[in-house]
């Protein structure tokens, strides 16, 4: 979230799309209700199902799964054609006026530079026109046809209300109403908050779903505003934090990039990632990349990271391609992987095409499970009849199952969707011999380290160099690890602005990331967490819930990254001249010397109003991007591509380019995609109010509330198939089948799409062959093994099935 | 004997007789209820955060057992933290079952191994688990570690073992996971955010 949970109450319009907050994030959703009751906000829901969120909405419209870009592009078209958007904001704070490379083009579903064989783009034309200084050219009159906004207008012109109805199945009149609701918040003193979740990310076009919405927010002038923003309601309690810490194949902590083999030296790496400005007078914050990276290297390798060895650059692995989970299970399936660790993660249930996942795990030499619970992944080798029909004796994988503590049995911090790092405390010991994750990792690591010291082996350097200065090496304490993440001064750091003063003295915890250096005098495990554990102590444990402004801003409660800032891009809450767009939601203001306010200003503190510095300080041109340059895999503008399993069998916009042309698809998985003739129904998976993923089926109370697996089908489809409420049905895709009870409902209606009737089948995910609830099938037996072109997040939300009475 | 507060004072005003009645245990029910200790008052209250979705609701965990040698703490009740600015004391139906998650019969209690081809778990010690896992890792790493790619560039990567990190473990566990995996040269590292 660029904003945070409580801030939702400041919105004038709440759009829930690609999510179902009332059921998946029930307590957070109370703030949407607060906005309705206290702020007279409207709530609209756009979803294939009439969800519980829809049941309390002011307006609901159905949409076919996987077609959100079409509807949202239709909204952009409406805003641009009617002029109902914040023009001053768009001109000043987005790249609307910047001029695009004359060779950039879009034709028949493809952008310029496509390579069909590689299924990827040469993105060199996805760029600005530059002047002699290397800065982007702009035309503030917007007369030049190559202005971003003019290209955008042309791009979205095809997304007419008729086309929206044809592709999405959303009736024209309902779409018109949605446009009107959203356009009202183009006024400077009105905001929309979009709440979305996995219903947008889990598509082969997931990242572009979100981008289309973000572009609407820029046009409406809602970024940086209280009650606005791009608000991802993340799925788990700490995937925000674990992503912040860079636990993704090609990431490092703090959104730094893991070096690849194309950057053989530190110099090559830093020059690639140290951003150069694309406009004059910008903050261009990524220019500080070397400070963040060198401080990370000092945290990783301690004294072993020196200027002479490039701060230990060679100790880090260099990638040739991303090893995301789809890629890695493909390798595992091909027998190219020997060992795998699953730490609090249950891939048999959580990954697509469960049968492929089980077959892959069966080819490992060893599998290590670290978990508080008995997961399906830990017992994938057991035969559970139809639910897991494996030949145990043939599976040669050695499986180690290590019991870990759970949340209640340890101290530490997790990061919520609003980027708050909240410290928690241990309340009891774990059962039996369970250990914390750090104790287990230490146990294995110290064994390995000793083996390498005694016996030698391949490249022991990084293992022996890893900084491990914990009081008890076998039991690194949360406090020690947390302080490492924040970082400390390794030498006295003189304050350049106040001679004789110091930013920090040697050995002290750093006050924030502004103190980081690129000369080895600071160490910090995750630069965006700098400020979370300072000399003043653990900031994440703070519990002052006072809200002095009444805008729901509680700066004394826990600690938010970055710099305890609660609303990102908040400089954009004021006009270029420094006056707020809406006085009632003033976040920051200029006091004549610097920016001050109820939030930590997201700007250079002493940069006066009226300067050319843009509010989006992480961007090289300081502006929000309606044109994404080369940052997305499938194009700088969003385009509708059908799900890889489409009920239409075509793309009404461009029949030759049906699905995402830049998405990666492995050969064996391509063969396992089903067509709409054999599998005619559009399916989507989701969560229920009473369950959390595959965890709460282990908890008695939740198992009592929702004991048995079911699927939801509409009344019309049920009648066609002779299925009545309570029947057991078999739902199959090209990849396998599940059996479950049928819930026949009015909440899912057939849609008229491109001249044909499309039915949806709703598939809750929560069952499996382990737990205290009734045993069930893994819903992901059905889902396809293809991901988003940028993130490789699987397309769980849009695929094809058949339904029969079992 | 039903005695309300007013009657009790009347009885007491009767002098010795009244006092004796009280001493014999004929106390009014309300007064009796007042002296009985409410269970939560004897409990230790610990602040934590719900581990399910990303709203991050504050919770209060109540445990009995003072932590002395033979008085192991056990959490018997969990409720929303009324001071928390987001949830203000509320929990949803998922979080309402948290105490059953902690005490699930499916909690793992001991390190175990399932040997190749076997149909059962075998309990092992932590020492054996660490030793055997480290042995597997070293054998695989030494056999498959790539120091240089085809172009002679130093790459120091190990691709034949991967690590799937968690979704609810703390930042601190995540940071140690990062140090652990990257120092070994692992690139197949992902967390729940991927899906």
The Cα–Cα gap between A298 and A292 comes to: 10
Q: What is the DSSP letter of A600?
A: -
Contact B128, A402 (CB under 8 A): no
Shared domain for B97 and B160, answered yes or no, is: no
Query: Could B48 and A427 be called an inter-chain contact, meaning their C-beta atoms sit closer than 8 Å?
Result: yes
Q: How far is CA A581 from CA A187, A214, A224, A593, B2, in A?
A: 9, 19, 11, 21, 68
Query: What mean pLDDT do residues B13-29 have?
Result: 49
Closest CB to A323 among B155, B162, B176: B162
Contact A78, A172 (CB under 8 A): no
Shared domain for B169 and B149, answered yes or no, is: yes
Residues from chain B that touch A240, judged by Cβ atoms under 8 A, are: 54, 193
Whole-number pLDDT of residue A207: 98
How far is it between the farthest Cα atoms of chain A?
84
B18 assigned to some structural domain: yes
Whole-number pLDDT of residue B34: 59
Query: Could A237 and B56 be called an inter-chain contact, meaning their C-beta atoms sit closer than 8 Å?
Result: yes
Whole-number pLDDT of residue B72: 86
Is residue B24 pLDDT above 80, yes or no? Answer: no
Residue A185 backbone class (left: φ over 0; alpha: ψ -120 to 50; beta: rest) = alpha
Task: Give the number of other CB atoms < 10 A from CB of residue A351.
Answer: 25
Q: Which of B81, B102, B123 is the last residue of a domain?
A: B102
The Cα–Cα gap between B170 and A788 comes to: 27
Residue from A552, A510, A554 nearest A532 by CA = A510
DSSP-assigned states of every residue in A529-593: GTTSEETTEEGGG-B----TTSSS--TTBSEETTTT-SSTTGGGGB-TTS-BSSGGG--EEE-SS
Whole-number pLDDT of residue B11: 47
Shared domain for B126 and B188, answered yes or no, is: yes
Shared domain for B70 and B129, answered yes or no, is: no
Residues from chain B that touch A465, judged by Cβ atoms under 8 A, are: 183
Q: Does A341 touch chain B (CB under 8 A)?
A: yes
Shared domain for B45 and B27, answered yes or no, is: no
Q: How far is CA A159 from CA A147, A209, A227, in A?
A: 20, 15, 28
Domain carrying residue B63 = 39-102
What is the pTM (predicted TM-score) of this model?
0.95
Token readout for A312 is: 């230990």
Q: Does B129 touch chain A (CB under 8 A)?
A: yes
Shared domain for B58 and B31, answered yes or no, is: no
The Cα–Cα gap between B148 and B159 comes to: 13
User: Alpha helices of A109-265 — where are they, by DSSP H?
Assistant: 148-156, 161-168, 172-184, 198-201, 206-220, 239-244
Q: What is the CATH number of the domain that holds B80?
A: 3.30.200.210
Contact A626, A619 (CB under 8 A): no
For residue A674, the distance in angstroms to the closest alpha carbon of chain B comes to 22
Chain A stretch 158-177, residues whose beta carbon is closer than 8 A to a beta carbon of chain B: none
Report which secondary-structure segment, H or E, holds A70.
helix A68-82
**Region A325-464: CATH code:** 3.40.50.740
Closest CB to A525 among B114, B142, B175: B175
Query: Could B174 and A241 be called an inter-chain contact, meaning their C-beta atoms sit closer than 8 Å?
Result: yes
Shared domain for B44 and B28, answered yes or no, is: no
List the single residue in A with minimal CA-CA distance to B195: A793
pLDDT in tens, B81-119: 999 999 999 999 999 999 999 999 999 999 999 999 999
Direct distance between the N- and C-terminal alpha carbons of chain B, in angstroms, rounded to an integer: 66
Is residue B27 pLDDT above 80, yes or no? Answer: no
Closest CB to A398 among B113, B137, B193: B113
Q: How far is CA A456 from CA A300, A451, A453, B146, B181, in A?
A: 22, 7, 6, 16, 19
Q: Give the CA count within 13 Å in the CB-facing half-sphere of B25.
A: 0
Shared domain for B29 and B87, answered yes or no, is: no
Count of A–B CB contacts within 8 Å? 488
Q: How confident is the model at residue B18 (pLDDT cuts 50, 70, 90)?
A: very low
Please say whether the dihedral angle defined by the alpha carbons of residues B51, B55, B58 and B61, taken in this order, is positive or negative: negative
The Cα–Cα gap between B184 and B163 comes to: 11
Is residue B31 pLDDT above 90, yes or no? Answer: no
The Cα–Cα gap between A681 and A647 comes to: 7
Please give the sequence-ordered ranges of beta strands (E in DSSP) within A435-516, or none if there are none: 488-489, 493-494, 502-504
Q: Give the CA count within 13 Å in the CB-facing half-sphere of A256.
A: 26
Domain count, chain B: 3
Is A667-805 CATH 2.40.40.20? yes
Is residue B3 pLDDT above 60, yes or no? Answer: no
Burial A376-412, CB ≥16 within 10 A → b, else e: bbbbbbbebeebbebeeeebebbbbbbbbbbbbbbbb
B161 assigned to some structural domain: yes
Shared domain for B129 and B188, answered yes or no, is: yes
For residue A642, the distance in angstroms to the closest alpha carbon of chain B comes to 20
Chain A stretch 552-581, residues whose beta carbon is closer than 8 A to a beta carbon of chain B: 552, 554, 557
Report which secondary-structure segment, H or E, holds B190.
strand B189-190
Closest CB to A772 among B106, B129, B154: B106
For residue A502, with 0-12 CB atoms within 10 Å meaning exposed, 13-18 middle and 19 or more buried, which class applies?
middle
For residue B38, the distance in angstroms to the closest alpha carbon of chain A comes to 20
Whole-number pLDDT of residue B9: 46
Q: Does A435 touch chain B (CB under 8 A)?
A: yes
Q: How confident is the model at residue B32 (pLDDT cuts 50, 70, 90)?
A: low
Whole-number pLDDT of residue A546: 97
CA-based R_g, chain B, Å: 29
Task: Give the number of other CB atoms < 10 A from CB of residue A794.
Answer: 28
Interface test mutation site (partner B, options A1, A20, A25, A238, max chain B beta carbons within 10 A): A238
Q: Does B109 touch chain A (CB under 8 A)?
A: yes
Shared domain for B136 and B189, answered yes or no, is: yes
Query: What mean pLDDT do residues B52-73 have?
Result: 91
Chain B stretch 64-103, residues whose beta carbon is closer than 8 A to a beta carbon of chain A: 65, 72-75, 80, 83-87, 90-98, 100-102
Closest CB to B182 among A317, A374, A554: A317
Strand-pair category, A537-538 with A533-534: antiparallel
Is residue B148 pLDDT above 70, yes or no? Answer: yes
Query: Could B137 and A339 be called an inter-chain contact, meaning their C-beta atoms sit closer than 8 Å?
Result: yes
Which residues in chain A land under pLDDT 50? Answer: none
The Cα–Cα gap between B84 and A786 comes to: 40
Write down the domain spans for chain A: 240-319+485-540, 325-464, 667-805
Q: Does B44 touch chain A (CB under 8 A)?
A: yes
Residues from chain A that touch B120, judged by Cβ atoms under 8 A, are: none
Identify the bridge partners of residue B148 per DSSP, sorted by sequence position: B154
Q: Which ipTM was obtained for this model?
A: 0.97
Whole-number pLDDT of residue A367: 98
Is residue B26 pLDDT above 80, yes or no? Answer: no
Q: How confident is the model at residue B25 (pLDDT cuts 50, 70, 90)?
A: low
B128 assigned to some structural domain: yes
For residue A615, the distance in angstroms to the closest alpha carbon of chain B comes to 28
Please say whether the dihedral angle defined by the alpha carbons of residues A434, A367, A693 and A805, taken in this order, is positive or negative: negative
B107 assigned to some structural domain: no
Query: Could B185 and A462 be called an inter-chain contact, meaning their C-beta atoms sit closer than 8 Å?
Result: yes
Instruction: Output phi, psi for A730, to 5 deg.
Output: -110, 120
In the block, tokens 């007013």 appear at: B6
Residue A45 backbone class (left: φ over 0; alpha: ψ -120 to 50; beta: rest) = beta
Direct distance between the N- and C-terminal alpha carbons of chain A, in angstroms, rounded to an integer: 43
Residues from chain A that touch B157, judged by Cβ atoms under 8 A, are: 317-319
Q: Does B116 touch chain A (CB under 8 A)?
A: yes
Shared domain for B147 and B179, answered yes or no, is: yes
Top-confidence residue, B10 or A23: A23
For residue B1, the distance in angstroms to the closest alpha carbon of chain A comes to 40
Q: Which of B48, B68, B102 is the last residue of a domain?
A: B102
The Cα–Cα gap between A336 and B164 comes to: 17
Residue A562: is the preceding peptide bond cis (ω within 30°)? yes
Whole-number pLDDT of residue A129: 98
Shared domain for B154 and B182, answered yes or no, is: yes
Q: How confident is the model at residue B48 (pLDDT cuts 50, 70, 90)?
A: very high
Query: Could A347 and B164 be called an inter-chain contact, meaning their C-beta atoms sit closer than 8 Å?
Result: yes
Query: Could B175 and A526 be called an inter-chain contact, meaning their C-beta atoms sit closer than 8 Å?
Result: yes
Whole-number pLDDT of residue B70: 83
Strand-by-strand arrangement of the A13-17 sheet: A59-61, A42-46, A13-17, A192-196, A230-232
């Amino acid at each position: 979230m660029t904003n945070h949970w409580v801030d939702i109450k400041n919105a004038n319009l709440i759009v829930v799309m690609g999510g179902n907050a009332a059921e998946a994030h029930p307590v957070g959703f109370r703030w949407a209700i607060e906005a309705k009751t206290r702020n007279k906000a409207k709530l609209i829901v756009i979803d294939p199902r009439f969800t519980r969120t829809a049941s309390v909405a002011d307006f609901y419209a159905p949409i076919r799964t996987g077609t959100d870009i079409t509807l949202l592009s239709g909204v952009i078209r409406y805003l641009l054609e009617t002029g109902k958007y914040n023009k001053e904001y768009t001109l000043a704070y987005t790249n609307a006026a910047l001029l695009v490379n004359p060779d950039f083009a879009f034709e028949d579903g493809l952008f310029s530079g496509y390579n069909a064989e590689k299924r990827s783009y040469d993105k060199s034309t996805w760029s600005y026109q530059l002047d002699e200084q290397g800065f982007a050219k702009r035309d503030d009159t917007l007369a030049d046809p190559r202005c971003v906004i003019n290209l955008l207008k042309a791009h979205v012109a095809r997304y007419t209300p008729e086309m929206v109805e044809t592709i999405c199945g959303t009736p024209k009149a309902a779409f018109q109403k949605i446009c009107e609701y959203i356009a009202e918040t183009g006024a400077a003193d009105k905001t929309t908050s979009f709440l979305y979740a996995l219903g947008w990310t889990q598509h082969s076009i997931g990242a572009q779903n979100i981008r289309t919405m973000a572009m609407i927010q820029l046009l409406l002038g809602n970024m940086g505003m209280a009650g606005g923003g791009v608000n991802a309601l993340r799925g788990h309690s700490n995937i925000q934090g674990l992503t912040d810490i860079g636990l993704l194949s090609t990431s490092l902590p703090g959104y730094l990039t893991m070096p690849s083999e194309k950057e053989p030296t530190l110099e090559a790496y830093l020059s690639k990632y140290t951003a150069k400005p694309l406009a004059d007078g910008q903050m261009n914050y990524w220019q500080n990349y070397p400070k963040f990276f060198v401080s990370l290297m000092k945290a990783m390798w301690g004294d072993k990271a020196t200027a002479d060895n490039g701060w230990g650059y060679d100790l880090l692995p260099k990638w040739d391609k991303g090893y995301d989970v789809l890629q890695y299970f493909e390798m595992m399936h091909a027998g190219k992987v020997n060992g795998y660790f699953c730490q609090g993660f249950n891939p048999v249930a959580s990954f697509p095409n469960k049968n492929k996942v089980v077959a892959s795990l069966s080819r490992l030499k060893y599998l290590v499970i670290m978990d508080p619970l008995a997961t399906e992944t830990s017992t994938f080798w057991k035969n559970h009849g139809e639910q897991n029909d494996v030949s145990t004796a043939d599976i040669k994988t050695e499986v180690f199952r290590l019991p870990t503590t759970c949340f209640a049995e340890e101290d530490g911090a997790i990061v919520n969707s609003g980027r708050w790092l909240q410290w928690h405390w241990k309340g009891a010991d774990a059962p039996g011999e369970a250990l914390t994750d750090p104790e287990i990792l230490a146990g294995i690591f110290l064994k390995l380290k000793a083996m390498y010291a005694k016996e030698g082996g391949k490249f022991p350097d990084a293992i022996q160099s890893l900084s491990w200065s914990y009081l008890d090496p076998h039991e690194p304490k949360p406090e020690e690890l947390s302080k490492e993440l924040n970082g400390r001064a390794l030498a006295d750091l003189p304050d350049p602005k106040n001679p004789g003063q110091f930013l920090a003295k040697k050995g002290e915890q750093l006050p924030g990331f502004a103190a980081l250096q690129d000369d080895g005098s600071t160490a910090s495990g995750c630069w965006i967490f700098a400020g979370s554990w300072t000399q003043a102590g653990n900031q994440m444990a703070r519990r002052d819930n006072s809200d002095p402004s009444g805008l729901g801003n509680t700066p004394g409660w826990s600690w938010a990254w970055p710099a305890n800032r609660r609303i990102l891009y908040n400089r954009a809450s004021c006009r270029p001249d420094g006056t707020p767009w809406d006085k009632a939601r003033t976040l920051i203001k200029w006091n004549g010397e610097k920016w001050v306010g109820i939030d930590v200003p997201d700007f250079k503190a002493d940069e006066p109003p009226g300067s050319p510095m843009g509010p989006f300080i992480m961007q090289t041109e300081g502006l929000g991007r309606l044109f994404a340059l080369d940052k997305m895999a499938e194009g700088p503008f969003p385009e509708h591509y059908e799900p890889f399993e489409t009920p239409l069998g075509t793309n009404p916009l461009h029949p030759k380019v049906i699905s995402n042309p830049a998405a990666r698809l492995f050969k064996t998985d391509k063969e396992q995609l089903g067509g709409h003739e054999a599998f005619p129904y559009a399916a989507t998976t989701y969560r229920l109010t009473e369950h959390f993923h595959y965890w709460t089926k282990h908890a008695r109370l939740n198992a009592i509330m929702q004991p048995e697996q079911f699927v939801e089908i509409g009344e019309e489809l049920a009648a066609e198939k002779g299925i009545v409420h309570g029947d057991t049905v078999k739902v199959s895709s090209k990849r396998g089948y599940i059996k479950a009870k049928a819930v026949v409902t009015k909440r899912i209606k057939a849609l008229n799409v491109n001249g044909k009737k499309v039915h949806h089948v709703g598939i809750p995910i929560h069952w499996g062959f382990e737990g205290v609830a009734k045993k069930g099938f893994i819903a992901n037996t059905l889902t396809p093994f293809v991901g988003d072109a940028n993130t490789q997040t699987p397309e769980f939300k849009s695929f094809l099935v058949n339904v029969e009475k079992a | 004997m039903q005695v309300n507060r007013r009657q009790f004072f009347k009885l007491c005003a009767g002098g010795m007789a009244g006092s004796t009645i009280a001493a014999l245990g004929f106390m009014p029910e309300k007064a009796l209820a007042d002296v009985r200790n409410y269970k939560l008052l004897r409990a230790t209250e610990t602040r934590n955060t719900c581990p399910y979705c990303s709203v991050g609701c504050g919770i209060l965990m109540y445990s009995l057992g003072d932590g002395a040698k033979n008085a192991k703490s056990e959490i018997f009740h969990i409720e929303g933290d009324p001071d928390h600015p987001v949830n203000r004391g509320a929990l949803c139906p998922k979080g309402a079952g948290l105490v059953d998650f902690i005490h699930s019969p499916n909690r793992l209690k001991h390190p175990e191994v399932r040997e190749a081809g076997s149909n059962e778990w075998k309990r092992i010690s932590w020492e054996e688990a660490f030793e055997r896992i480290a042995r597997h890792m070293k054998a695989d790493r030494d056999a498959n570690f790539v120091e240089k790619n085809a172009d002679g560039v130093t790459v120091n990567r190990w691709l034949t073992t991967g690590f799937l990190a968690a979704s609810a473990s703390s930042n601190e566990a995540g940071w140690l996971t990062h140090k652990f995996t990257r120092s070994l040269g692992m690139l197949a590292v992902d967390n729940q955010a991927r899906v």
